Amino acid sequence: MSLDVFFEARSIAVIGASREPGKIGHEILRSLIDGGFRGNIYPVNPKYSEVLGLKCFNSVLSIPDDVELAVLAIPARIIPRVVEECGLKGVKGVVVISGGFSESGGVGVKLQSELVSIARKYGIRVIGPNCIGIFNPYTRIDTFFQSYERMLRPSKGNVAFLTQSGTYGCTVLEWLALDGIGLSKFVSYGNMCDVDEAELLSYLGDDDKTRVIAFYMESVKSGRRFIDVAARVSRFKPIIVLKAGRTEAGSRAVMSHTGNLAGRYEVVKAAFRKAGIIQVQDIEELFDTIKIFSLCPPPRGDGLAMITNGAGPCVMASDAASELGVKLSQYSNSIRERLRKSLPPYALIGNPVDLTGSATLRDYLTASEILLEDPNVNVLALFFVFQDTPLEDEVVYEVPKLRRYGKPIVALASGGPYTIKQARRLQEGGIPVFPTPERLIRAVKNFIKYYLCFK
């Protein structure tokens, strides 16, 4: 059975809806309402006749219309009974936000297996338990107990993010929103008592809206199946995975988080590599790698050229490139000659081309256009000190026009409000911006490696 119900449902019951602000069952309902979900919303709670202006039902069974999806924010012990009611009602999918299942051990483990067997009996699909659920910016299905006041949602786009940790869900979704990178679908899948990574990956592999798939993963429940699906999907969509629980201490933490086994990291790592999965080491690298794949066209070769108005970060980038095996382009003599003739005398011609603190928009465009014509330049990295006053504001509107060359262009900038605003504009123009040279180089490395080695 398809997972469509989780992303496309037109009627949703929120079981455990509360009138009390701050309560999980209140905030989930509010997210659906505030987020602009267009389908029918049914609060369920025997204590109330109305919540947030919507008629409240004492059970899912008393809702007069069809209910496709139910979101559960009620104590674990009553969940099996409520899922039974969902089954009788003909609900197709449930998202169990509540914790208190396998991650708690003892009775929780038993409750989780009861939940699963009841769901199986009725053919109900389950996301969770112990998660924050679903977000689809296209249909506005939004099961978050994180309010709009406290958490930004990204706009529509081509990135799917799947996570075993709700916390990293919040972080990545807000980072995407801050940087203006769009999302196709989000799933926090928690203990994954039913729907697992392999099934989600397969579904998103076939999803037209999704171009990049990223995971934060602690355990790998579907094992071999996941690897097989990944080997297929990675041939046409990049799959980026952050695997936690690399060490013994981390594995113990995984166990107490979702009650699943982390698996032996060396084994997992080797299998992932063989399946063409891009493996990253921390949440920043995950995010940076998502960004470059979401915004840039594939590179045709592995040479990186840098242009800057401040040399320091290019020194660090040269170190990082050398350490990570990213190749810096060697320009042909004719390109060097053109650069020298076309740029002001203060410019230092090399890789980087250092335009110095006196650099203007014109200098950046001149240098970029020459380098983008060099076949040895496959990825262009523009390092910006936006704080330097000689550089015109308009640079962030002009640089994106260089995308007409069809080559990947990335940028570096970091600082305060002005720089953040300028970086945001660049990204809206399709140029991913990274805050440090190491992060830029790591993203470029993952990007080049995927297109030139895996594929």
Residues 8-27 within binding reach of its own copies (CB under 8 A): 21-24, 27
DSSP 348: B
Among 46, 123, 312, 344, binds its own copies (CB under 8 A): 312
Least spacing, CB of residue 173 vs its own copies, in Å:
8
* Interface with its own copies: number of residues (CB under 8 A): 88
The helix, strand and coil proportions of the chain, stated in percent and rounded to the nearest 5, come to 45, 20, 40
Cα 162-163-169 angle, rounded to 5 deg: 100
Among 261, 269, 387, 398, binds its own copies (CB under 8 A): 387
Considering beta carbons, is residue 5 or 240 the nearer one to its own copies? 240
Least spacing, CB of residue 214 vs its own copies, in Å:
14
Among 68, 218, 302, 374, binds its own copies (CB under 8 A): 218
The number of helix segments (H) and strand segments (E) in the chain equals 16, 20
Among 249, 341, 406, 453, binds its own copies (CB under 8 A): 249
Q: Provide CB contacts within 8 A for 133, sequence distance 6+.
A: 71, 95, 97, 127, 143, 144, 187, 188
Q: Provide CB contacts within 8 A for 95, sequence distance 6+.
A: 6, 69, 70, 71, 72, 126, 127, 128, 131, 133, 134, 143
- CB hemisphere CA count around 31 (13 angstroms): 32
7-15, 220-228, 378-386, 423-431 -> range binding its own copies (CB under 8 A): 378-386
User: Angle of helix 166-179 relative to helix 417-428, nearest 10 degrees?
Assistant: 80
Least spacing, CB of residue 235 vs its own copies, in Å:
29
Using the rule CB under 8 A, is 99 a contact of its own copies? yes
Among 206, 319, 337, 373, binds its own copies (CB under 8 A): 319
Using the rule CB under 8 A, is 250 a contact of its own copies? yes
Amino acid letter for position 400: P
Least spacing, CB of residue 455 vs its own copies, in Å:
27
Least spacing, CB of residue 228 vs its own copies, in Å:
26
Quote the radius of gyration of the chain (alpha carbons, Å).
Answer: 25
CA distance 91 to 356: 63
- CB hemisphere CA count around 91 (13 angstroms): 34
Amino acid letter for position 325: G
Considering beta carbons, is residue 124 or 241 the nearer one to its own copies? 241
For residues 135-154, which are near its own copies according to CB under 8 A? 145-147, 149-152
Considering beta carbons, is residue 45 or 202 the nearer one to its own copies? 45
For residues 159-188, which are near its own copies according to CB under 8 A? 163-168, 170-171, 174-175, 177-178
Is residue 127 within 8 Å of residue 189, measured between CB atoms?
A: yes
CB neighbours (10 Å) of residue 88? 12
- x/- mask, its own copies, residues 21-60, rule CB under 8 A, reads xxxx--x---------------------------------
Considering beta carbons, is residue 271 or 355 the nearer one to its own copies? 355
Considering beta carbons, is residue 70 or 283 the nearer one to its own copies? 283
Among 100, 223, 301, 430, binds its own copies (CB under 8 A): 100
40-48, 50-58, 305-313, 445-453 -> range binding its own copies (CB under 8 A): 305-313
Among 137, 238, 352, 429, binds its own copies (CB under 8 A): 352
Considering beta carbons, is residue 429 or 437 the nearer one to its own copies? 437
Minimal CA–CA distance to 394: which of 422, 419, 375, 418?
422
Considering beta carbons, is residue 160 or 176 the nearer one to its own copies? 176
CA distance 331 to 352: 11
205-213, 255-263, 335-343, 395-403 -> range binding its own copies (CB under 8 A): 255-263
Among 10, 225, 232, 246, binds its own copies (CB under 8 A): 246
CA distance 62 to 18: 18
CA distance 77 to 104: 12
